[in-house]
Structure 1
């Protein structure tokens, strides 16, 4: 394993275990560091806790006493732990750096890193980029926010292997020296303000993806996102734009006939099977990153002619009695649902609702022209009902949950209707994750008679 040469800390607090904390603690112990672990929910009997104790970690479980900071030089924080956590706040007051395990992964990776972030589209773009490289016979591994801990993959990476990382704002907020060879910025809009507190904090976290890049690196960015255009002026990297509207002689673009990279035609647009304008943005970003990493046109064509979407992200589920069911459970905000609604030119029955974060839904109004009915659930059902009335939708139903919503939507549907789960809300009022919500939708569709 590569040594952590540029990691000048010997006494480290790993705050929060879960998968990323366990991986970070294990790696740091393997590197000969002194590691203290603090987790409120972990138990001495947990398998990962036992293993870390055997490796020499100091464990403080069940609470967050301030004494965990005694003698500590740096905190490796689980991304899910807020910055207003008392331990984090106290550390910052003492001048103790707070990082995430992505910082460790970046230092351990021997091969080039492709880092992908944005408010929407990260998982689709990460998956497309990875598959394009695989189909081009380029060595590649994938990790990060996609569900695979980056440190575990990075420490076993060969120098000729690419590492494609999906990166959230939670992860990027805690980086210091992290530097991808290729950074991809898909888009940015207001999100996760309950965590970041301000719009400025959120943007800055996203922009950390390019803050350490040099003229030898690349920044692939959305040329139609005005916020990004202003921000990337600070970047020293070579800038590679992508656009669904205009030719980009230095980047990726499309017209009515084909998609291109710079002046080179990559493939016919009619042969791409993925739906939605937003997915064309994801495709162009992937093409840019993949071509910069040596992908072939043949490899890209093979992926785009077969790829129908990532699970829970405008995923086609089934054609049942001429009704088309789509699972877009990952749509946890209005922008994602806007993009889903824009993907169809046929009647839609919209299934929506979830955690109430205090926001309204009027920004969906211009995108409701194909919505013929709504089936609503969760804490925001009444707010979404108001939206439906403003859109003059006469058939609006409020139901118990996603499972009952599928049945009600089917009962009021007709042939050629799209029955679309695109909640525009987080799932946590009724479900542990958006994945659980989507899986329940899929199961309910498959059990229709």
Structure 2
């Protein structure tokens, strides 16, 4: 196992178990650290807890008492725990550094790290980069926010392997020295303010992806996003822009017919099977990282002519009686749904709704002109109904859940309609995850046959 060589702390609090916390605790214990674990929802008799006890960890479960901070030199926290948690507020008063497990992964990885972040498109871009490298006979592993614990994977990485990491703002907010060889910054828009509190905090977390880079590293960035263009001026790394509209001498770009890496033609757009202009931006970013990592044009083209999308992200499900069903359950915010709606021109029935975070949905108005009907559900159903009425959409149906929404949408659909699940909301009012919500959609669609 690769050792942690640059953690100058002996007594460490792991805050929050789950997969990343458990992995971090095991890693720290294996490296001779004194580890205290604190988790609200775990129980003393949980297998995970018992295993960590056997390894020598001190366990405190059921609450976050302030005494767990006593004598601690570092906190490794679960990314989902916000910084306004009283325990973390007190830790900051005591000047105890707070990191996430991604920082540990960065110190463990012997190969090159490709880090990918943005408000939208992370999973698609991460998958594309991974596939392009694999098709080019490169060694690669994937981890991070995509569902695999980065520190676990990093321990097994060899010098000739690439580690492709999908990185959330929650993870990036807790880094000190983390430094990807290639950083990708896809886009920035207002999101997760319930966690970060201000847009400045959110942007700062995202921009951490390049803060430790040097002129030996690369920063792939969206030249069509003015906020990003301004932010990357302070980056020390080699900048590689991408644009869906403008020719770039030192980047990846499209002229509306083909994609180029610098002056080298990579592929014609008509050969690419993944739909949506937002996905074109993801494709350009992925090509940049892949080419910088040694991918071949043949490997890149093989991926782009066959890749139809990530599950739950504008995923084509099936066609039933000439109705086309798309699962975009990962659209947990308004911008994601805007992009999904922009991917189609034919009549669309939109299925939307979920957790109410206080958002209004008026920003969707310019994007629903081709929406012939809406089926809404969850806590935001009433707000989305108001949106539909403002857009003068004739048919607006309130459904109990996603399964009911599929049934209602199919009942009012016609041949050549798109039936699109793109909720514009998180899933937690009715479903544990957006994956669970998307799986229900897929299951409901297949029961129509």
- Offset from partner CA, 1:301-347 (integer Å, 9 cap, x none): 01001100000000000100100000000111110000000001100
**Structure 2 CA distance for aligned equivalents of residues 7 and 229 of structure 1:** 34
CA positional deviation for 1:257: 2.1
Q: How far did residue 112 of structure 1 move?
A: 0.5
1:334 aligns with 2:327: no
Structure 2 residue 65 is the aligned partner of structure 1 residue 59:
no
Give TM-score scaled by structure 2 length. Answer: 0.99
Question: 1:256: how far off?
Answer: 2.6
Provide Cα deviations, 1:261-299, integer angstroms capped at 9, x if missing partner.
Answer: 111111121110000000000000000000000000000
- How far does the alpha carbon of each residue in 1:92-149 deviate from its partner, in whole angstroms, 9 at most, with x for none? 0000000000000000000010000000000000000000000000000000000000
Structure 2: tracts of 5 or more residues without a match? none
Separation in 2, partners of 1:102, 1:230: 26
Counterpart in the other structure of 1:283: 283
- Runs (5+) with no aligned partner, structure 1: none
Tell me which moved more, 39-48 or 398-407.
39-48
* Mapping 1:40-439, distance limit 5 Å: 40-439=40-439
How far residue 254 of structure 1 moved from its aligned partner, in angstroms, is 1.1
Q: CA deviation at 1:214?
A: 0.3
**How far apart are the structure 2 equivalents of 1:64 and 1:362?**
40
Task: State the superposition RMSD in angstroms.
Answer: 0.7
Residue 433 of structure 1, CA deviation: 0.8
Bigger mean CA deviation after superposition, 50-59 or 306-315: 50-59
For the residue of structure 1 that corresponds to 2:389, the secondary structure is helix
Q: Which has the larger displacement, 410-419 or 394-403?
A: 394-403
Deviations 1:66-103 (A, max 9, x none): 11011100000000111111111110000000000000
Q: CA deviation at 1:215?
A: 0.5
Tell me if the contact between 2:245 and 2:256 (Cα under 8 Å) persists in the aligned partners.
no
Matches of 1:105 and 1:229, distance apart in 2: 28
Shift of 1:3: 2.5
TM-superposed CA distance for 1:65, in Å, is 1.0
- Cα distance in 2, alignment partners of residues 134 and 349 from structure 1: 37
Q: The residue matched to 1:352 in structure 2 has which SS?
A: strand
Deviations 1:212-237 (A, max 9, x none): 00011000000000110111011000
Shift of 1:44: 2.0
In the alignment, is the contact (CA less than 8 A) between 2:119 and 2:191 conserved in 1?
Answer: yes
CA distance in 2, matches of 1:92, 1:45: 31
